[in-house]
Amino acid sequence: MTAHYRWLSFFGFLACVIGMAFALYLEHFRGYEPCPMCIFQRVAMMAAGVVFLVAAVHAPKRAGRWVYAVLAALACGIGAAIAGRHVWLQSLPPDQVPACGPTLDYLLDMLPVMDVVTMVLKGDGNCAKIDAQWWGISLPGWTLIAFIGLALYALAMPVAARIAERRSHYISG
Q: What is the pLDDT of residues 83-129, one digit of tens each?
A: 998 888 777 776 766 655 666 666 777 667 777 767 666 655 566 56
Find the mean pLDDT for residues 47-66. Answer: 91
Instruction: Give CA–CA dist 14/97, Å, rounded.
Output: 36
Predicted local distance difference test score (pLDDT) of residue 36 = 78
Predicted local distance difference test score (pLDDT) of residue 59 = 82
Predicted local distance difference test score (pLDDT) of residue 150 = 97
- 23 or 137: which leads in pLDDT: 23
Find the mean pLDDT for residues 147-158. Answer: 95
Predicted local distance difference test score (pLDDT) of residue 165 = 72
Residue 38 has pLDDT above 60, yes or no: yes
Predicted local distance difference test score (pLDDT) of residue 117 = 67
Q: Give this prediction's pTM.
A: 0.80
Residue 47 has pLDDT above 90, yes or no: yes
Find the mean pLDDT for residues 66-70. Answer: 94
Predicted local distance difference test score (pLDDT) of residue 41 = 92
Which domains are assigned to the chain? 3-168 (1.20.1550.10)
Instruction: Give CA–CA dist 100/85, Å, rounded.
Output: 16
